[in-house]
Amino acid sequence: MNRAWYYACGCHYRLAEDSILLISGQLVIQEKIMANSYFQLESNLRNLKLSGHVGFDSLPDQLVNKSVQNGFLFNILCIGETGLGKSTLMDSLFNTSFESTPSPHNLPSVKLKAHTYELQESNVRLKLTIVDTVGYGDQINKEDSFKAVVDYIDAQFEAYLQEELKIKRSLATYHDSRTHVCLYFICPTGHGLKSIDLVCMKKLDTKVNIIPIIAKADTISKTELQKFKSKIISELQNNGVHIYQFPTDDESVAEVNSSMNAHVPFAVVGSTDFVRVGNKMMRSRQYPWGTVQVENESHCDFVKLREMLIRTNMEDMREKTHCRHYELYRKKRLEQMGFSDVDSENKPVSFQQTCEAKRSILLQELQQKEDEMRQMFVVRVKEKEAQLKEVEKELHVKFDKLKKDHTEEKKKVEESRKKLEDDILELNRRKMQFAQQPQHHTLTLGKSKKK
């Protein structure tokens, strides 16, 4: 397939391949025959020659025009310690100024900052998102530094998956924020990778296309650089870290493939300053002893990086992100949700079957829960009833006792009343008796009292 066409068409070329097969100008018509009542499709391919110009050879152009109209999208993630030249390299790569501000390096944790820009070159529009790690490698405990990055990448995948799963999808207008490439900035120590580099790249290598680059490569001498590169590559291999390989299966890029893959990690220099060389302004860094030209291949690998990242493999990275990394994430997530293409006996199951099975399991669980609740309720009610009965009994006992006490009291009161009545009667009788007796008796008493 023509590589240039392939780029411009973006993902649309797959669509074209699905519907009509173009084989060296010949039309291949697929005849689909309803084979039997089970609606099985049996295809019967016949090659036919066209006797004139029909016009579907403009299909590639149609796709190119449509893609150009829609514009393109690319997301870059830059991972590297603070002040390692991430922003400067981005400015150099796109020959513009993204006007980024230096980050603080006293943050308690790593954060990711995304900025989106609209770029235009001739009639091609590119929506570019650059994501920067802020505070990466600044903490004393660097154990969890990779976590923020992994979470960010997963969150972008998840957002896309959720859009895909919607009933009413709008993937055409959806801002796809999935990370297409991760530029990993390696410190130019000359002594191999740090453990944080290895851990982070290992965590990311199934989620994103990683291109390791040696930052500020002007600080390493020529002989050191070769040793440094081979050390890095061997460390990556020994730890099983898979970095992005430039594709070698397409004949138009195959010539550069092996040489470029051998140059990884690219040793790059970035600059925001220009120096006049002849009549051209060149991005360069000036030192007391000379000048480093960013775009001079004998000074650093910047041109190689730009060639491979932007001019040759941008579309391949977009495709690998969708077809490999996103696919892996999607598979894992759907399996987590309980979906599968095959059942426990390795027989294929459809989405609907899975849904129904899930639903029946849920219903069963619900039923079970309900039964449990009902049983619990009955037990509770019984307990409460028993308690109430007990209380009632106690109350009865109390009541009986009170009643008994009361009758006894009443009896006692009655008795004492009777006694009192008797006393009153007795008193009255005595009074009468006393009244009938002669007066002197009283006087005598009065006299005796006076004594």
Ligand X SMILES: *[C@@H]1O[C@H](CO)[C@@H](O)[C@H](O)[C@H]1NC(C)=O
Ligand Y SMILES: Nc1nc2c(ncn2[C@@H]2O[C@H](COP(=O)(O)OP(=O)(O)OP(=O)(O)O)[C@@H](O)[C@H]2O)c(=O)[nH]1
Three-class secondary structure of residue 99 per DSSP: coil
Q: Terminal CA-to-CA distance of the chain, rounded, Å?
A: 157
Q: Is the dihedral of CA 326, 327, 328, 329 positive or negative?
A: positive
Residues that bind ligand X (CB under 6 A): 58, 61-62, 65, 95, 248, 254-255, 257-258, 261, 277, 281, 293, 296, 298-299
Selection from ligand X, Mg ion, ligand Y, none that 269 binds (CB < 5 to 8 A by kind) is ligand Y
> Which range touches ligand Y (CB under 6 A), out of 123-131, 216-224, 246-254, 356-364?
216-224
Scored b (16 or more CB within 10 A) or e, 165-180 reads: eeeeeeeeeeebbbbb
Residue selected from 87, 145, 209, 257 as contacting Mg ion according to rule CB under 5 A:
87
Selection from ligand X, ligand Y, Mg ion, none that 257 binds (CB < 5 to 8 A by kind) is ligand X
Residue pair 232/193 in contact by the 8 Å Cβ criterion: yes
Residue selected from 67, 75, 88, 293 as contacting ligand Y according to rule CB under 6 A:
88
Give the nearer residue to ligand Y in terms of CB position, either 183 or 210. Answer: 183
Q: How far apart are CB 87 and Mg ion at their closest, in Å?
A: 3
Give the nearer residue to ligand Y in terms of CB position, either 87 or 209. Answer: 87
Q: How far apart are CB 81 and ligand X at their closest, in Å?
A: 27
* Nearest CA-CA partner of 247 in 3, 12, 73: 3
Residue selected from 138, 176, 197, 218 as contacting ligand Y according to rule CB under 6 A:
218
Q: Looking only at residues 124 through 183 of this chain, which bind ligand Y when binding is defined by CB under 6 A? A: 132
> Which range touches Mg ion (CB under 5 A), out of 26-34, 85-93, 181-189, 261-269?
85-93
Residue pair 248/257 in contact by the 8 Å Cβ criterion: yes
Taking CA 193 as the corner, what is the angle to CA 234 and CA 293, rounded to the nearest 5 degrees? 95
Give the nearer residue to Mg ion in terms of CB position, either 86 or 216. Answer: 86
Three-class secondary structure of residue 127 per DSSP: strand
- For residues 103 to 122, the per-residue mask of contacts with ligand Y, x marking binding by CB under 6 A and - elsewhere, is x-------------------
Q: How far apart are CB 248 and ligand X at their closest, in Å?
A: 3
Question: Residue 206 gets which letter from DSSP?
Answer: T
Q: How far apart are CB 288 and ligand Y at their closest, in Å?
A: 13
Selection from Mg ion, ligand X, ligand Y, none that 218 binds (CB < 5 to 8 A by kind) is ligand Y
Give the nearer residue to ligand Y in terms of CB position, either 208 or 300. Answer: 300
Give the nearer residue to Mg ion in terms of CB position, either 60 or 135. Answer: 135
C-alpha dihedral, 55 to 61 to 62 to 65, nearest 10° = -160
DSSP-derived pairing of the beta strands 181-186 and 72-79: parallel
Gap between the Cα atoms of 382 and 89, Å rounded: 77
Q: Does 293 bind ligand Y (CB under 6 A)?
A: no
Residue selected from 63, 73, 77, 84 as contacting ligand Y according to rule CB under 6 A:
84
Q: How far apart are CB 207 and ligand Y at their closest, in Å?
A: 22
* Nearest CA-CA partner of 268 in 214, 187, 191: 214
Q: How many CA atoms lie within 13 A of 284 on its CB side?
A: 15
Residue pair 138/189 in contact by the 8 Å Cβ criterion: no
Please report the DSSP string for 42-89 in residue order.
EEEEEEE--SS--SGGGHHHHHHHHHHHH-EEEEEEEE--TTSSHHHH
Residue selected from 100, 139, 239, 291 as contacting Mg ion according to rule CB under 5 A:
100
Give the nearer residue to ligand X in terms of CB position, either 78 or 93. Answer: 93
Residue selected from 25, 52, 102, 108 as contacting ligand Y according to rule CB under 6 A:
102
Question: By the criterion CB under 6 A, which residues form the site for ligand Y?
Answer: 80, 82-88, 102-103, 132, 216, 218-219, 269-270
